[in-house]
């Protein structure tokens, strides 16, 4: 019999793997304070509602979600961490290695620019975030500068980057260290491809990328085998058109070692002045592709039903009554397996009115007497990569229906 068969006779390797997945007791106050703060912080600018949770005792678990917005990892991990009540087992996230480089938060939160030189990676690690190299072909200038600066010192830029890459910058420093200072901080956030790095540094960056990626994947596999819960958005990048991208990355390496839980995420962008995020947690089945299951797990919103009707019917104008009738028909036609936003189910008329007002704020429609006339496009400030939120939501809802049929 293996010595691992009895909990009192674990091997040294087994104890090491378990230690990876269990948070030290001294971390708990920091971790719980951080989760509570994050959960409250994101509820100020966003309206967030969720249904379902993870069991407290769950063993090795992989939490897989669709990906549309930058807030999702922080919101889902903090909510599920607080909801599961698991004091010793954090929910680990697969996070970009850029978070372990100076200036990551300062580039996103202007009030943190004075702390641009601080590397917050150790703090992220304590909270359960774990790095993986997910930018294999391109990354910000400052990221490459940081990696090479640590190995070779303050090299002149002309020895590291091709001239065509430097010409893309409105202003550039003379050396790598300039990107790490205040004068060229914002210029350093510009993305550059590794093909624009001169040899021998290009070859070195490729070798660094490959070695870090394999080490990162091995680390996550060890965590998963040890009983950790890992949150993953295997699409990699946000959806720009509402269509789910192919599930890839380390999903195939982690899935065999864990029970999978799904988080289906939807947005109701036209309702309310705060962007509304809805999510639902459900266990995955073994006999259906994960992308199909995620699509049918996502809550159905009034923005999705209205957009689907507008874009598929080709209607150019409507009254509020027309819109309400269309949403009610859409609700009646939904497969029984889909989950509908309870507020929409309870009062379709009120939700349609709120969505129409939101479309007007975004410029997606305007009043034309007693009717509403739709614009060719409806942008939304919460989704800067998307030119038409109506088309986005139409695509999203169509895939939700396809998920229910699959």
For residue 38, the model assigns a pLDDT of: 87
Nearest CA among 58, 140, 48 for reference residue 91: 58
Position 376 in a domain: yes
Q: In whole angstroms, what is the distance from residue 36 CA to residue 13 CA?
A: 34
Establish if 137 belongs to a structural domain.
Answer: no
What pLDDT is stored for residue 64 in this prediction?
Answer: 97
* pLDDT of the residue at 135: 80
pLDDT score of 108: 61
CB 386 within 8 A of CB 240: yes
Indicate the helix (H) or strand (E) that contains 19.
helix 12-21
What is the tally of structural domains in the chain?
1
Calculate the alpha carbon distances from 272 to 167, 228, 267, 309, 345 in Å: 43, 37, 11, 20, 17
- Quick check: is 221 in a domain? no
Q: Is residue 170 part of a domain?
A: no
Q: Per-residue pLDDT tens, the chain, 406 aa: give them.
A: 333 333 333 333 333 344 467 777 777 888 888 889 889 999 999 999 999 999 988 889 999 999 999 899 889 989 998 887 666 778 898 887 877 777 666 566 665 556 555 666 667 776 778 888 878 889 899 899 989 999 999 999 999 999 999 999 988 999 999 988 878 888 888 999 999 999 999 999 999 999 988 998 998 999 899 889 999 999 988 888 999 999 988 999 999 999 999 999 999 999 999 999 999 999 999 989 999 999 999 999 999 999 999 999 989 999 999 999 999 999 999 999 999 999 999 999 999 999 999 999 999 899 988 899 999 889 999 999 899 999 999 999 999 999 999 8
Whether residue 334 lies inside any domain: the answer is yes
Residue 397, domain extent = 299-405
- Is the residue at 174 inside a domain? no
Tell the residue number behind the tokens 């939160």, with chain if given. 109
């Amino acid at each position: 019999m293996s010595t691992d068969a009895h909990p009192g006779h674990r091997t040294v390797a087994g104890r090491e793997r378990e230690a990876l997945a269990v948070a030290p007791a001294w971390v708990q106050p920091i971790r719980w304070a951080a989760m509570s703060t994050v959960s409250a912080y994101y509820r100020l600018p966003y309206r967030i509602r969720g249904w379902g949770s993870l069991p407290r005792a769950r063993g090795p678990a992989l939490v897989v979600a669709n990906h549309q917005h930058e807030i999702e990892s922080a919101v889902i991990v903090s909510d599920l961490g607080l909801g599961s009540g698991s004091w010793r087992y954090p929910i680990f996230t697969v996070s970009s290695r850029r978070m372990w480089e100076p200036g990551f938060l300062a580039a996103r939160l202007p009030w943190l620019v004075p702390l641009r030189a601080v590397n917050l990676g150790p703090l992220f690690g304590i909270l359960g975030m774990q790095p993986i190299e997910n930018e294999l072909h391109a990354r910000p200038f400052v990221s490459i500068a940081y990696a090479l600066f640590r190995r070779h010192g303050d090299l002149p830029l002309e020895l590291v980057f091709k001239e065509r890459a430097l010409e893309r910058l409105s202003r550039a420093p003379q050396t790598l260290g300039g990107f790490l200072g205040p004068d060229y901080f914002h210029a350093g956030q510009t993305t550059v491809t590794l093909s624009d790095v001169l040899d021998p540094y290009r070859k070195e960056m490729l070798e660094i990328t490959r070695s870090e990626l394999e080490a990162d994947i091995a680390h996550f596999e060890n965590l998963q085998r040890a009983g950790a819960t890992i949150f993953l958005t295997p699409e990699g990048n946000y959806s720009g058109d509402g269509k789910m991208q192919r599930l890839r990355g380390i999903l195939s390496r982690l899935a065999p070692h864990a029970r999978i839980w799904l988080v289906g995420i939807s947005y109701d962008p036209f309702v309310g002045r705060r962007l509304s995020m809805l999510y639902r947690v459900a266990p995955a089945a073994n006999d259906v592709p994960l992308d199909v299951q995620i699509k049918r797990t996502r809550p159905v919103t009034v923005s999705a039903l209205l957009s689907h009707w507008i874009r598929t019917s080709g209607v150019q104008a409507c009254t509020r009554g027309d819109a309400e009738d269309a949403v009610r028909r859409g609700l009646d036609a939904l497969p029984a397996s889909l989950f509908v936003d309870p507020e929409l189910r309870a009062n379709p008329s009120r939700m349609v009115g709120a969505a129409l007002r939101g479309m007007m704020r975004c410029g997606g429609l305007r009043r034309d007497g007693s009717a509403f006339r739709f614009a060719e496009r409806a942008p939304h400030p919460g989704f800067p990569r998307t030119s038409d939120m109506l088309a986005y939501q139409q695509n999203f809802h169509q895939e939700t229906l396809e998920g229910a049929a699959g």
